[in-house]
Amino acid sequence: MVAKTRALVPKDKLLLAGSGCEGTLATMRMCDEMANAGADALMVVSPGYYKAVLNDRALIYHFTAVADQSPLPVILYTVPACTGVELSVSAVATLCQHPNIVGMKDSTGDITKLASFVAVSKGEQFQVLGGSAGFLLAALSVGCSGAVCALGNLLPHQVCQLYQYFTRSNSPSETPPCNEDSKQQVSLGDKFTASQKEHELLPSGSSNGKQTSLENKIECARKALQLQHELLAPNTAVTKTFGIAGLKQAMDWMGYYGGPARKPLMPLLDADRQALRNIFVKSGFLKD
């Protein structure tokens, strides 16, 4: 799959490949295979089968050994909802100093811990990424560089737009009106477009009829929060309530190819499919 993706993705686009296994040696071998397939960097998830003994000592050893051998930069991935194992702040404080460990993705949703990861890695060549569109704005606010979001598979414009609103609201330079790039027509399925979500600037109260840079920053911050709120229900639906099958169904509705989930994951029941669609209709991303 990675090799086929590499053939389709331009060389100037980063191809990040998952490369985590339960064993250290198996993970090392997979890293080599992913490099040969054309990946640019590797996301290595924590092992989890023997979680009772996967303490800091074991995890630091595992990730250090993998990074020492890996021909590509390594990004740590902690997703305790799936692995049952959570990387500690102290473990990350050690691992972030490794020259071949360049960042981490944290899917815990614990904003205090996310901020702590940013704090302990400050000064290192290490970037912290959030793991969900459900807390994207919060992650950016505590210093994350970005995020890897499942919701980006079906609402890519909106996820990127939230990031752009945030960066403009925090830019140290002059900030142009934050609706400059929000007028592009991005298909959301069912003859509905992103511009109809009303992410446009309201008229400014400035006496000269133009918004100042500070007013633009404030407006971009407001838009970021508004968009974050709009993404909450769809994100929960495709990451928790209905899972992978729901995410793939929503991709189909949005004009992408989701297709069936791999077994043993089951397709949605008709009632679940309708409930999922109702969420997207109520959120404004689909027509009824």
Rounded CA-CA distance 223/103 in Å is 28
Annotated binding-site residue? 148: yes
What is the rounded CA–CA span in Å between residue 188 and residue 10?
Answer: 25
Residue of 11, 50, 105, 210 with catalytic role: 105
Q: Check 13, 51, 77, 113 and give the catalytic one.
A: 77
CA distances in angstroms from 28 to 20, 24, 44, 121, 142, listed in the order given: 9, 6, 10, 24, 32
Instruction: Give the span between the Cα atoms of 142 and 136, in whole angstroms.
Output: 10
Contacts of 176 (CB under 8 A, 6+ apart): 168, 216
- Asked about 77 being catalytic, the answer comes back as yes
CA distance 273 to 260: 13
Q: What is the rounded distance in angstroms from the CA atom of residue 110 to the CA atom of residue 70? A: 29
Beta bridge partners of 19: none
Q: CA 286 to CA 278: how far, in whole Å? A: 9
CB-CB contact of 276 with 250 (8 Å): yes
165 included as an active-site residue: no
Three-state DSSP state, 78 = strand
- As a whole number of angstroms, the distance between CA 88 and CA 58 comes to 12
Q: Which residues contact 95 (CB under 8 A, 6 or more apart)?
A: 60, 63, 64, 67, 76, 101
Record the tokens describing residue 91, joined without a space: 């473990």
Residues making up the annotated binding site are: 148
Give the residue numbers annotated as catalytic, written as ranges.
77, 105
Residues making up the annotated binding site for pyruvate are: 148
